[in-house]
């Protein structure tokens, strides 16, 4: 009999107060609310004032554990998707494990940039399906504000910080129905932080660099295709899903994907306007919001989608 990974809890955390587009203008960034809203759909984002990815991950994780009604000590798998880990090592997952007081669970980070949460969720699902693990915590946590060049208006206005978490538990019915993950390393250069640490100093460029239009075009091309692939793997059509929860990078990408999938915007969860692009945290933050406000109900089917640096993309179809 197949073992399913059932979503038993979700949680989210955003640091501090919203930083509105006009606040960025007031801080001397050569941009405007009108440009950011028209080109991206972003109106505000949250920025960490020193909180690290593992600290935000802990706050989101505690909420997810509370909803799932399980103790951290019961977890046997902890995965953190992040491109902004606290340290080079140990992993953010091990720091989170320590902060939660769990001992003995398998714990490691997954690095697939903005697709990271979908990658990590798919990995956790494989562990659970195999029968080796039964209770997994999957977190997306990012402090992208640390890697932004605040003099580069083409990137710094786009991103925000935060964390989102999901608890997956082995179940006999319902849960993750299908996942699909892809990457194309030949496009590594269109979205990267190319710096390195060598001999105690940062060499190269330590900031996020993006060829926005190339990323935009690739995202639109792959997102509808991977949605279809994932739905077909579960014997469904994209029009059959109740909710689309896409990576929150640009409202124009989200709308184009929804159109190609035959889904009206009423079925698409959007947090981008208030969160900005929180990379690996964006999908679990949006999922948590829609679960907590009652939009996503037990028995409904939703599709998670990620796309980002690598170039990476993926989807997960879940019956709640
Ligand atoms: O999470 C990973 C996935 N990331 C994404 O999916 C991001 C994908 N890319 C995008 O969302 C869009 O390409 C951007 C929002 C990044 C840029 O939008 P665009 O419509 O592609 O604009 P553009 O880069 O072609 O720039 C248009 C103009 C330029 O001025 P000129 O050359 O036309 O005079 C830019 O200098 O807008 C200018 N510009 C700005 N103006 C005001 C760029 N950034 C800004 C800004 N404020 N913040």
Domain span holding position 251:
177-319
Q: Select from 149, 174, 199 the last residue of a domain.
A: 174
**Smallest Cα–Cα separation from 304: which of 81, 147, 94, 142?**
81
Query: Which pLDDT score is estimated for 140?
Result: 98
Could you tell me the CATH number of the domain that includes residue 210? Answer: 3.40.47.10
- Average pLDDT over the chain, rounded to an integer: 97
Q: Is 316 helix (H, G, I), strand (E, B) or coil?
A: strand
Quote the pTM value. 0.98
Measured between alpha carbons, how far is 279 from 264 in angstroms, rounded to an integer? 24
CB 150 near ligand 1, within 6 Å = no
Instruction: Please name every residue paired with 159 in a beta bridge, in sequence order, or none if there are none.
Output: 277
Q: Distance from the CA of 109 to the center of ligand 1, in angstroms? A: 31
Dihedral over Cα of 214, 220, 221, 225: its sign = positive
Active-site residue, from 21, 102, 250, 277:
277
Tell me which residue has its CA closest to atom 24 in ligand 1: 212
What single-letter DSSP state applies at residue 164?
E
Q: Report how far residue 225's alpha carbon sits from residue 221's, in angstroms, rounded to the nearest whole number.
A: 7
Pair (136, 228) in one structural domain: no
Residues 36 and 158 in one domain: yes
Helix, strand or coil for residue 155?
helix
What is the pLDDT, as a whole number, of residue 161? 98
pLDDT of residue 125: 98
Domains identified in the chain, total number: 2
Q: Is residue 253 lining ligand 1, measured as CB closer than 6 Å?
A: yes
Calculate what percentage of the chain has a pLDDT beyond 70.
100
- Minimal-distance CA residue to ligand 1 atom 2: 308
Q: Among the options 94, 114, 156, 230, which is catalytic?
A: 114
Confidence of residue 1 (pLDDT cuts 50, 70, 90): confident
Task: Assess whether 212 and 168 both reside in one domain.
Answer: no
Q: How many CB atoms lie within 10 A of CB 314?
A: 28
- Going by pLDDT thresholds of 50, 70 and 90, the confidence category of residue 94 is very high
- Residue closest via CA to ligand 1's atom 14 equals 212
Give me ligand 1 centre to Cα 214, in Å: 11
Between residues 25 and 197, the one the model is more confident about: 25
Q: Would the CB of 43 count as within 6 Å of ligand 1?
A: no
188 shares a domain with 115: no
Q: Please state, in angstroms and as integers, the Cα–Cα distance from residue 86 to each residue in 151, 185, 209, 251, 316, following that order.
A: 24, 25, 20, 30, 27
Interval 120-146: pLDDT, tens: 999 999 999 999 999 999 999 999 999
248 in ligand 1 pocket by Cβ < 6 Å?
A: no
């Amino acid at each position: 009999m197949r073992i399913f990974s059932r979503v038993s809890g979700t949680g989210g955390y955003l640091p501090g107060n919203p930083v509105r587009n006009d606040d960025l203008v007031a801080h001397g960034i050569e941009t405007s609310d009108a440009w950011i809203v028209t080109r991206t759909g972003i109106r505000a984002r949250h920025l960490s004032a020193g909180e690290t990815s593992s600290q935000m991950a802990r706050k989101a994780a505690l909420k997810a554990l509370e909803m799932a009604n399980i103790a951290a000590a019961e977890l046997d798998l902890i995965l953190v998707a992040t491109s902004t880990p606290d340290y080079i090592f140990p992993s953010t997952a091990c720091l989170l494990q320590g902060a939660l007081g769990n001992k003995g669970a398998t714990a490691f980070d997954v690095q697939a940039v903005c697709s990271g949460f979908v990658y990590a969720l798919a990995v956790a699902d494989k562990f659970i399906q195999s029968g080796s693990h039964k209770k997994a915590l999957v977190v997306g946590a990012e402090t992208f504000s640390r890697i932004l060049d605040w003099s580069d208006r083409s990137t710094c206005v786009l991103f925000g910080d935060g964390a989102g978490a999901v608890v997956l538990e082995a179940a006999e019915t319902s849960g993750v129905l299908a996942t699909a993950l892809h990457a194309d390393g030949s496009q590594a250069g269109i979205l990267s932080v190319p710096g390195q640490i060598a001999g105690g100093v940062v060499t190269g460029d330590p900031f996020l660099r993006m060829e926005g239009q190339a990323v935009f075009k690739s995202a639109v091309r792959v997102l509808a295709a991977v949605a279809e692939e994932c739905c077909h793997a579960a014997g469904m059509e994209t029009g059959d899903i109740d909710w689309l929860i896409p990576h929150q990078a640009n409202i124009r990408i989200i709308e184009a994907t929804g159109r190609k999938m035959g889904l009206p915007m009423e079925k698409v969860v959007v947090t981008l306007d208030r969160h900005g692009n929180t990379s690996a945290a964006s999908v679990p933050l949006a999922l948590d919001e829609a679960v907590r406000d009652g939009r996503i109900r037990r028995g409904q089917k939703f599709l998670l989608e990620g796309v980002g640096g690598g170039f990476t993309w993926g989807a997960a179809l879940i019956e709640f």
